[in-house]
Amino acid sequence: MPVGSRVAVLFSAALVFAGTVLGARSAAAQATVSVACGSVGAEFDLCKTGAEAWAKKTGNQIKVVSVPKDSNEQLALFQQLLSQKSGEIDVIRIDVVWPGLLAQHLVDMGKEVPRDVIAQHFPAIIEANTVSGHLVALPAFTDAGLLYYRKDLLEKYGRKAPTTWQDLTETAKIVQDGERKAGNDKIYGIVFQGRAYEGLTCNALEWVDSFGGGTIVDGQGKVTINNPKAIAAIKLAASWIKNIAPEGVLNYAEEEARGAFQSGNAVFMRNWPYAWALSQAPDSPVKGKVGVMALPKGGAEGKNTGTLGGWQWAVSKYSKNAKAAVDLAMYLTSPEEEKRAAIEVSFNPTIPALYKDKDILAKNPFIGELLSTFTNAVARPSRATKSKYNQVSSEFWNAVHEVLSGKSDAEASISKLEKNLNRISRNGKW
Ligand code: GLC
């Protein structure tokens, strides 16, 4: 199917208007603002209740739109809408790697939002959302990859939480095999995001960077991925498939990994902070049995590293209700809303002051304990590769997926990737 019609199908299937909320004021004063809420974990409800509260407070109306789960599928949908200058969605939630891809279609928040409101957020996140001097979105939450583990099972087998990926590989095998002998034939050592999509780029960047193998493309635009450390990292991950990771992980995104871990069928899981609150929900089979920590190092000489993620609220330039839309984006990124998100769905705030908030730390202590993991997270090369980032990422995730699925060996796949990236970038000129 040609890409255009694929996106059109996606669009009609994905764009579900989930309801309109009437505010209190007269119809004449009201705008109807449509807002695209994500749908991973509990975020749709969080977004909907936030938007409804804003509608009630301001007397406007909202239309809540649900979009696909995978980041790159959302991007395809928004690119399609925005390139048509569609006013269909006013407020869009954008991924931290998209500002350079969508900037031309987004309202400059720097002109609309008071300086002191912007200054509440981490300067690095504001910087990441600034393209050619324009602030294209207001940060809502930040993310970094984390390691979740079963405290009870590590204790049962006398194993410590792993400090290196090599340790993890060994511990995962020992616990998995022990538990299988004890009768849980569904259990695996580790689950992660192995589908060929943006999430695999995040996972594989963590493996590579933790081994000291760089960030695919460096800050100056040079393609660096074809190096022995990167290859060793990807090979180690490929060795997990069918040994300590289910073959199905090759099609897992965030929610499939969480489903396996939360139902008690994995010893370790790589996932984002949102998985914490859900794993501790009253009906979670692993409630009280889970630990969370920084991802392991790639060997004793390596480093702990988590990929930087996160989402922000932007307003479409084609919105017919831009004023009200900016107001909604401000509301959704206010300290009160970020606090509610941190408590209810364990989203990491983008407002430093909230890392000292007693209610947040009491409910989800890891948010404070792992602060350095979040502030030291490794960025994907979206700034260096500019409008080509999505192409770079899809070349990378496909090359890694080929290795994980045994279709290609790591050396051949990474060398081909290097050639493709040099071709796309016209040798680093991007
Ligand atoms: C999370 C991250 C986002 C990333 C995505 C990949 O939502 O916050 O930055 O692109 O996962 O699946």
| C-alpha of residue 300 to centroid of ligand 1, in Å | 28
Average pLDDT for 322-342: 98
Q: According to the model, what pLDDT value does residue 28 have?
A: 46
In angstroms, the CA 405 to CA 164 distance is 23
For ligand 1, mutation pick of 206, 272, 380 (most atoms within 8 Å of CB):
272
Pocket of ligand 1 (CB under 6 A): 71, 95-96, 143, 198-199, 202, 254, 272, 309-311
C-alpha span between 242 and 245 (Å, rounded): 5
Q: What's the pLDDT score for residue 18?
A: 52
What is the pLDDT of the chain when averaged over all its residues? 94
Instruction: Provide the pLDDT for residue 428.
Output: 83
Task: For residue range 172-201, list pLDDT tens digits in order.
Answer: 999 999 999 999 999 999 999 999 999 999
The structural domains of the chain, with segments of one domain joined by +, span: 3-136+309-370, 145-307+377-430
Q: Is the pLDDT of residue 71 over 60?
A: yes
**Res. 10: pLDDT tops 50:** no
Q: Whose CA is nearest to atom 3 of ligand 1?
A: 309
Helical H segments across 15-98, by residue range: 43-58, 71-83
Q: Which pLDDT band holds residue 429 (cuts at 50, 70, 90)?
A: confident
> Is residue 4 pLDDT above 80, yes or no?
no
Confidence at 20, pLDDT banded by 50, 70, 90: low
CATH superfamily of 145-307+377-430: Periplasmic binding protein-like II (3.40.190.10)
| Span 266-292, pLDDT tens digits | 999 999 999 999 999 999 999 999 999
Q: Which amino acid is at 365?
A: P
Q: Which residues pair with 373 in a beta bridge?
A: none
Q: How much distance in Å is there from the Cα of 143 to the middle of ligand 1?
A: 8
Name the residue among 237, 267, 271, 234 with its Cα closest to residue 256.
271
Contact between 18 and 64 (Cβ < 8 Å): yes
Contact 171, 267 (CB under 8 A): yes
- Residues 222-235 have a mean pLDDT of 98
In whole angstroms, what is the distance from residue 280 CA to residue 91 CA?
A: 31
Distance 180 CA to ligand 1 centre (A): 32
Report CA torsion sign: 257, 237, 150, 162: negative
Closest-lying ligand 1 atom to the alpha carbon of residue 253: 12
Q: What pLDDT, on the 0 to 100 scale, is given for residue 5?
A: 40
pLDDT score at 1:
36
Host H or E run for residue 420 = helix 410-425
In order of 84, 227, 400, the CA distances from 428 in angstroms are: 31, 17, 21
| pLDDT tens digits, one per residue of 383-401 | 999 999 999 999 999 999 9
**pLDDT for position 295:** 98
* Distance (Å) of CA 103 to CA 37, 205, 239, 264, 316: 19, 25, 40, 42, 10
Q: Report the pLDDT value the prediction gives residue 427, as an integer from 0 to 100.
A: 81
- pTM here is 0.94
Gap from CA of 95 to ligand 1 centroid (Å): 7
Asked if the domains at 3-136+309-370 and 145-307+377-430 fall in one CATH topology, the answer is yes
3-136+309-370 folds as D-Maltodextrin-Binding Protein; domain 2 (3.40.190)
